[in-house]
Structure 1
């Protein structure tokens, strides 16, 4: 499935509450949209590699980037929806991101916002094996909390 950021949540707020009766983790594949990689790039994608890809500045910088840029969807805010969207994507050899799609959906605009934020991110430090860059599949949870 890919690297999961040491089980750390990338959060939009301080609270980890969820709406009563909601798990916050449903799969809604009908709304899932994938941002494709270059169709000519048929190289293997790795799940584990010596040095995994990293957001510039590390986990703290990624959390700050999400907190600064995330716009809580108005419908989700009105309905007091909280939970986690889990994204999967490929970090290319040059650090660019592609194949961004939702593994776990929250709906009500949160999936789209999580994808939007990830697509805005600067180039990552690519994953390397014996000093050479490789394509690596990653998984990232984004927490929505009011």
Structure 2
């Protein structure tokens, strides 16, 4: 549920001498909910098209992802997409705070243009213990840094 679907306007309906409180949906909220449903449907359809174009079997966008921004589990998973569809690889330093401790991590982003659909970014954080310095994805990063 989201804030819009939770929004209701209370109307006091007085019938005789006993007041009754009835919760009726606000007509404007109902209209927005229908529009929101259509937008969600369009987003889900775009997400399914994007995932199919990237070679994924599952065509449901995961929680936290969008049709144009997808989080990957590891550099190996991201590399598999890179090897299949190519794209532009970039890195950036990201900062995370957890229980008062701040860490700096390297985020790897693969940007893929899917003609007629969308420009999609797939990202993961580099996890050193997994290794993978010899992955084609990492070679692309090295070439970018050397240029």
Q: Same fold (TM over 0.5)?
A: no
Identify the TM-score tier after normalising by the shorter chain. Answer: under 0.3
From the CA coordinates, give the structure whose radius of gyration is larger: 2
Normalization by structure 2: what TM-score?
0.22
Higher share in strand: 2
Normalization by structure 1: what TM-score?
0.22
Higher RCO (Cα < 8 Å, 6 or more apart): 1
